[in-house]
């Protein structure tokens, strides 16, 4: 591909993700047409290397279906809209009718593009492509261009697309020797990784790891773990030894974006920043300002200290001495003991207290203490980095145990396991979703209020990962238990779009059709036929 003349070839020689990487790196604008005899023509419009429009040969992710799947409108509302008079694009009509907001439409359009990318990424390797620089073949098709993060699109193509094992091996072999580390300017959250993929990257964020150790750590199947590393390597979001910014990251991003340092380092940085007096505290007395400043310095020092210094005991301290020291320090640092005028520091004091509790647990356990002591002697890693990695790995292992227990029907043990996993790594949507579903199993069917907490957890999980089949499945089950059949069926339909072979979703939809009769969407005609012609 280049910006001077049309380029042609096949996906056998240049997979889709490589074409998009080249376009992003060179900032190319134009149309990428992909054609296969079995499927037909597909087209993508690129602006400065970013995909802004897609047209698929087959009807994929129509905006009405996406809106219903996202829970923004109901099936009934969509059918009413299609029955009524409206012209132009369906998304605009939904906004005009007040069914959704302009911001919701923007989110739906973004989700639509990503679902279309998933489909295009699976085109046969013999598909022919042509890139036409400066040409927009979709200028008169669809609505306004919508810019989706190119890193998210590239990852979708890497994850779902055709990729030879030899290509994977060659890519990973190009990494510099030694532990793999994230680039200082990496923006890994922009890839849109799902729960377990994010857990793998979090391990790398917490501490650089050899590629083989990361692949074999058990967080992901080996092939999927390799693809995560391939995506990070090809986009230079891991340090490949080149004096270049990661793809998709500009100097402006460095001034406005978030840091990618390990999470513990981020906690320390936020501690110092949040303890500085802000605009609302300008008129504090000099005495309180001085106390906040002193507390700020002490918190920063304690979060950097090893467990022995944190509790104020020598390295050879006996267990009884450690317990006494912890009780004394806990009284001093308990958040409830904080003076009212220092309440702005409560979150940071809570972190110190939690770290002291962890220190007490480790140092009063002979095996854990021995491991910790060996760690302190290692010049290559800190105890804090090791603890962060172990926490993530422990959460993943505990979650896998919970899933096994669920399959065995050992509900109480499964709930206990997934609760621990969620506490160790609360950012993982899958952990929270399974936890919420297991909590919902304890609610009596007639107790509508009892489902509120689990459902709120599931709403957060779906919002964090709307295309995660497992998360959707747990929410659908809870909707069914609550008697919200329409909401459950929307989730099941979304699941079948993501995973057409999902047995549970197919079964529930089939049973629903038997009870209510076929819908126009499933018939492929009627009102939904009109929608698909938009």
pLDDT in tens, 34-44: 998 888 899 99
Task: Give me the chain's average pLDDT, please.
Answer: 80
Report the percent of the chain where pLDDT is more than 70.
84
How many domains in the chain?
Answer: 4
Residue 33 is classified by DSSP as: E
Segment among 48-52, 390-394, 397-401, 475-479 with least mean pLDDT: 390-394
Residue 366, SS3 per DSSP: helix
With residue 42 as reference, give the H or E element that holds it. strand 40-47
Q: Which residue has the tokens 């939690």?
A: 354
Q: Identify the bridge partners of residue 10 per DSSP, sorted by sequence position.
A: 128
Q: Which residues pair with 129 in a beta bridge?
A: 9, 34
Establish if 445 belongs to a structural domain: yes
Asked whether residue 388 is domain-assigned, the answer is no
pLDDT of residue 259: 39
Spatial separation of the C-alpha atoms in residues 332 and 313, rounded to whole Å = 16
Task: Clarify whether residues 36 and 92 are in a common domain.
Answer: yes
Domain membership of residue 402 (yes or no) is no
Q: CA 294 → CA 230, 289, 297, 353, distances in Å? A: 46, 9, 5, 17
CA separation for the pair 214, 203 (Å, rounded): 8
Domain C-terminal end among 377, 393, 422: 377
The C-alpha atoms of residue 165 and residue 234 are separated, in whole angstroms, by 15
The alpha carbons of the chain give a radius of gyration, in whole angstroms, of 27
Domain contains 513: yes
Compare 114 and 532 and report the one with higher pLDDT: 114
Residues 140 and 188 in one domain: no
**Beta strands at 50-55 and 40-47: parallel, antiparallel or unpaired:** antiparallel
What pLDDT does 521 receive? Answer: 41
Mean pLDDT across 377-403: 72
**φ/ψ (deg, to 5) at 289:** -60, -40
> 445: domain CATH number?
1.25.40.10
Rounded to an integer, the average pLDDT of 276-286 is 42
Range of the domain at 233: 163-256
Integer Cα distance of 15 and 129 in angstroms: 10
Same domain, 448 and 523: yes
Task: Answer whether 36's CB lies under 8 Å from 124's CB.
Answer: yes
Is residue 85's pLDDT more than 80?
Answer: no
Reported confidence tier of residue 240, pLDDT bands at 50, 70, 90: confident
Rounded distance between C-alpha atoms, residue 276 and residue 348, angstroms:
12
Which carries the bigger pLDDT value, residue 457 or residue 518?
457
More confident residue, 460 or 219: 460
**pLDDT at residue 111 in the model:** 82
Residues 46 and 140 in one domain: yes
Strand partners, 157: none
> Does residue 145 share a domain with residue 11?
yes
Q: Can you tell me the distance from the alpha carbon of 294 to that of 288, in angstroms, rounded to the nearest whole number?
A: 10
The residue among 96, 124, 149 that closes a domain is: 149
In a domain, 250, yes or no: yes
Given 118, 149, 180, the domain boundary residue is: 149
Q: Give pLDDT tens digits for 323-349.
A: 888 888 888 888 777 777 677 777 788
Contact assessment for residue 502 and residue 469, using Cβ atoms and an 8 Å cutoff: yes
Binned at pLDDT 50, 70 and 90, residue 478 comes out as very high
Looking at residue 532, its pLDDT comes to 30
Whole-model pTM?
0.58
Do 287 and 356 reside in the same domain of the chain?
Answer: yes
- Of residues 228 and 243, more confidence is placed in 228
> Is 408 inside any structural domain?
no
Q: Is residue 310 part of a domain?
A: yes
Does 407 fall in a domain? no
């Amino acid at each position: 591909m280049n910006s001077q003349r049309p380029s042609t070839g096949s996906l056998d020689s240049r997979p889709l993700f490589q074409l998009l990487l080249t376009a992003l790196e060179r900032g190319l604008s134009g149309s990428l047409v992909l054609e296969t005899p079995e499927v037909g023509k597909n087209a993508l419009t690129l602006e400065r290397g970013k995909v802004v429009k897609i047209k698929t040969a087959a009807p994929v992710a129509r905006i009405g279906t996406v809106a219903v799947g996202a829970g923004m409108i109901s099936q009934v509302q969509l059918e009413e809209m299609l029955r009524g008079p409206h012209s132009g694009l369906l998304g605009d009509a939904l906004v005009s009718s007040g069914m959704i907001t302009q911001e919701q439409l923007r989110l739906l359009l973004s989700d639509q593009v990503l679902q279309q990318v998933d489909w295009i990424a699976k085109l046969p390797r013999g598909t022919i492509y042509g890139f036409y620089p400066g040409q927009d073949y979709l200028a008169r098709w669809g609505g306004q261009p919508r810019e989706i993060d190119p890193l998210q699109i590239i990852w979708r193509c890497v994850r779902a697309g055709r990729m030879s094992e030899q290509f994977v091996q060659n890519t990973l072999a190009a990494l510099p020797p030694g532990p793999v580390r994230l680039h200082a300017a990496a923006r890994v959250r922009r890839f849109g990784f799902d729960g377990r993929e994010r857990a793998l990257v979090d391990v790398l964020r917490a501490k650089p790891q050899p590629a083989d150790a990361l692949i074999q750590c058990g967080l992901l199947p080996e092939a999927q773990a390799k693809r995560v590393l391939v995506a990070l390597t090809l986009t230079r979001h891991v340090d490949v030894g080149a004096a270049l910014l990661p793809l998709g990251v500009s100097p402006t991003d460095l001034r406005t974006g978030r840091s990618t340092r390990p999470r513990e380092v981020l906690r320390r940085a936020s501690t110092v920043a949040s303890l500085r007096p802000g605009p609302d505290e300008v008129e504090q007395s000099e005495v309180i300002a001085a106390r906040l400043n002193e507390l700020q310095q002490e918190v920063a020092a304690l979060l950097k200290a090893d467990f022995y210094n944190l509790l104020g005991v020598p390295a050879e301290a006996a267990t009884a001495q450690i317990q006494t020291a912890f009780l004394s320090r806990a009284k001093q640092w308990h958040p409830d003991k904080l003076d009212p005028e220092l309440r702005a520091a409560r979150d940071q004091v809570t972190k110190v207290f939690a770290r002291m509790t962890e220190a007490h647990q480790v140092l009063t356990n002979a095996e854990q203490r021995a491991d910790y002591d060996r760690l302190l002697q290692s010049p290559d890693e800190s105890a804090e980095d090791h603890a962060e990695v172990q926490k993530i790995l422990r959460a993943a292992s505990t979650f896998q145990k919970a899933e096994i227990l669920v399959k065995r029907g050992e509900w109480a043990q499964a709930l206990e396991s997934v609760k621990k996993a969620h506490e160790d790594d609360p950012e993982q949507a899958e952990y929270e979703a399974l936890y919420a579903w297991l909590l919902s199993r304890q609610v009596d069917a007639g107790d509508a209020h009892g489902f509120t907490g689990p459902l709120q957890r599931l709403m957060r999980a779906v919002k964090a990962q709307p295309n995660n089949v497992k998360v959707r499945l747990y929410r659908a089950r809870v909707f069914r238990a609550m008697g919200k059949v329409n909401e459950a069926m929307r989730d099941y339909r979304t699941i079948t779009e993501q995973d057409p072979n999902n047995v549970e979703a197919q079964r529930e939809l089939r049973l629903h059709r038997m009870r209510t009769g076929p819908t126009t969407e499933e018939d492929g005609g009627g009102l939904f036929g009109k929608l698909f012609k938009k």
